[in-house]
Structure 1
Amino acid sequence: MRELGSSQPTAVELELLRILWELQPCPVRDVHNRLAEIKQTNYSTTVKMLSVMLQKGLVRRDEKKSPHLYRAAMSRKVAAKTFLNDLIDKVYDGAAMSLVLQALATGKASPEEIAEARKLLDQMEGRK
């Protein structure tokens, strides 16, 4: 199995992972039906994508069941942490605060998210 952080999944692979995190374990047909709601694709393409993802170690397949059931190889939380660490290392030279500042500077943070960030910073500084 390859390490997830060594090569980021494509945009379509991320869509499939999101579907699997929600539905898993599930057969290809369920994954395909959900994917078809998002984008035009045919069943054989979904099968091929899952096969590639299996080779990459992004998904697992239970071959004891019929039809085969697929699941993500790692939880959404673990994947998010892996992707985030990879982004911080590659784009921000390991400076996590630079990522946080950039994210907040986009202006897309809600007042609730800004308050949550302030609370976290206060906790990190030892204030409550």
Structure 2
Amino acid sequence: MFELTVDTTFAAAHQLRGYKGKCERLHGHNWKVQAHVAAEKLNGIDIAIDFHDLKRLLNEVIAPLDHSFLNDIFPFTEKNPSSENIARWIYDSLNKKLADEDVEVSAVTVWESDTASATYYEN
């Protein structure tokens, strides 16, 4: 099994509905996203997927989030835009973009600061 990883960043604001504390108020982060994809085999030129293509697809996924108010973007109009939910949304969205490739997302980690992150993966 092979695993590839790409990182990207975006800036966005959010607020956590129902949270009793500072994060209930409007605030922003410079988010970091790390996507891991897994492949059982390599292609004809001995790569799982081109890193450039993988990063382009990840950037397409996060483009609607960049410089936005996350609470205004579906599904965060209905679910809190927590790091956990953002990681799951990116995981699902990137997997859809990779449907025609021989790789699938194995995990997505989202950092809201240098010291706090959430990772989503499926068994």
TM score, norm. by length of structure 2: 0.23
More strand by share: 2
Using the size of structure 1 for normalisation, the TM-score is 0.23
Structure number with larger C-alpha Rg: 1
Greater relative contact order (CA < 8 Å, ≥ 6 in sequence): 2
Higher helix share: 1
